[in-house]
A = this chain, B = another copy of it.
Amino acid sequence: MFESFRTKGHNAGLPPGTLVCPESSGPVGPVKITLIDYNKQGYTEKEIKRIEDCFQAKDSKTVSWINIDGLNDIEMIEKLGEHFGIHPLILEDVLNTAQRPKIDEYEDYLFIVLRMLKYNEETESVDSEQVSLITGKNIVISFQERPGDVFGPIRDRISKGKGRIREGGADYLAYALIDAIVDNYFIIPEKYGEIIENIEDMLIREPTPEIFQSLHNLKREMIFLRKAVWPLREVISTMARGESKLIHKTTVLYLRDVYGHTIQVMDSVESFRDLLSGMVDMYMSSMSNRMNEVMKVLTVIATIFIPLTFIVGIYGMNFNYMPELGWKWAYFAVWGVMISIACAMVFYFRKRRWM
């Protein structure tokens, strides 16, 4: 998720609305366009090769969903924009894949930018992809960076006529897409919740610098998660306010539901942030705790033996006249004194709870 760090604007210097192919982070295959047309009665789905093949969708009475996977065919996107009357700034934003989630209301359509987040079990981090939705009357155009998405169940519901989706308009479809994206957000705090619990357990058992490193990484992930989810609240609340004539009253209820979901995700992210900063405190405290432990052992050993070593040093001196050296029981007396001192010290340390 780290790459989303580097925000990129459109290439500075170009006139606004100039389309520039996004630097793809990995190999990207050819652009794939799918057109789904449906109404209450029926449904057709086809993959199309030339963008012109979906131009009739503009005037058809059925709801059309044009999904575009891959953003490197600029010419095609320009044609699309021209035919459907999409503002060049929107097309520029579609191609700029470091957008902040946002909604722009135009006369004939809504333009919505979202982040599709997927927890990647392998890398144990979150994959992020930008999804742009253009919602007009009877038409939804969605742009994705890569093939592979979370919209499978929606396609399924359309094809099988499950739920309300075939009865709803383009606004309901847009809602369904947003809902699918937001529903997948829930998996992320769930995963992180588990990870945080594990780290907490480890922290209690034995804090290591590695655990602290994990804490730091988690904090960083939360910063980015927050950055992706926070603006979404505004996007959806703008839609749910019901002021746009493109959104039906019945859909507003559903949008309010999604709104609740985003707040719930945000709540979790905020709680995690609080928890993590508590755990940093905990790490720090157990560090200084361990230091205390180490120091106590050193102090106990040193303060017991240093005075004794001094005593034995005394009787190692070679003065000609040292009366004690000749006494018969002197050696044993010294032992006695030393044992007494050691015991007194141990007793003192016990009392201070250093042992």
- A281 (CB) vs chain B CBs: closest residue: B280
- Over the window 291-303 of chain A, the binary record of Cβ atoms lying under 8 Å from chain B Cβ atoms (1 yes, 0 no) is 1101111110111
The answer to the question of A330 belonging to the interface, with a C-beta cut-off of 8 Å to chain B, is: yes
Number of copies: 5
Does the CB pair B294–A261 fall under 8 Å?
no
- Over the window 180-220 of chain A, the binary record of Cβ atoms lying under 8 Å from chain B Cβ atoms (1 yes, 0 no) is 10111111011001100100000010100100110010011
**For A190, what are the chain B residues with a Cβ–Cβ distance below 8 Å?**
6-8
**For A162, what are the chain B residues with a Cβ–Cβ distance below 8 Å?**
15
**For A165, what are the chain B residues with a Cβ–Cβ distance below 8 Å?**
15
Does the CB pair B298–A303 fall under 8 Å?
yes
Q: A314 vs B309: C-alpha distance in the bound complex, in angstroms?
A: 8
Main secondary structure of the interface of A (DSSP, over half): helix
Does the CB pair B189–A254 fall under 8 Å?
no
Q: A328 vs B134: C-alpha distance in the bound complex, in angstroms?
A: 96
The answer to the question of A312 belonging to the interface, with a C-beta cut-off of 8 Å to chain B, is: yes
Does the CB pair A282–B5 fall under 8 Å?
no
Interface window among A42-50, A69-77, A121-129, A149-157: A149-157
Does the CB pair B14–A268 fall under 8 Å?
no
Does the CB pair A318–B325 fall under 8 Å?
yes
Interface residues on A, range: 35 or more
The answer to the question of A13 belonging to the interface, with a C-beta cut-off of 8 Å to chain B, is: yes
Task: Give, as a whole number of angstroms, the nearest-CB distance from A294 to chain B.
Answer: 5
The answer to the question of A20 belonging to the interface, with a C-beta cut-off of 8 Å to chain B, is: no
Besides the known contacts A206-B353, A227-B267, A294-B354, 4 further A-B residue pairs in the complex with CB atoms under 8 A apart: A8-B186, A15-B157, A294-B296, A312-B316
Q: Which 9 A-B pairs have the closest CB atoms?
A: A15-B163, A13-B153, A312-B313, A9-B186, A12-B183, A315-B317, A298-B299, A301-B303, A316-B316
Query: A residues within 8 Å of B by Cβ?
Result: 2, 5-10, 12-18, 87, 89, 93, 98-100, 102, 104, 106, 150, 152-153, 157, 162-165, 176, 179-180, 182-187, 189-190, 193-194, 197, 204, 206, 209, 212-213, 216, 219-220, 223-224, 227, 253-254, 256-257, 260-261, 263-265, 267-268, 271, 274-275, 278-292, 294-299, 301-303, 305-310, 312-322, 324-326, 328-331, 334, 353-354
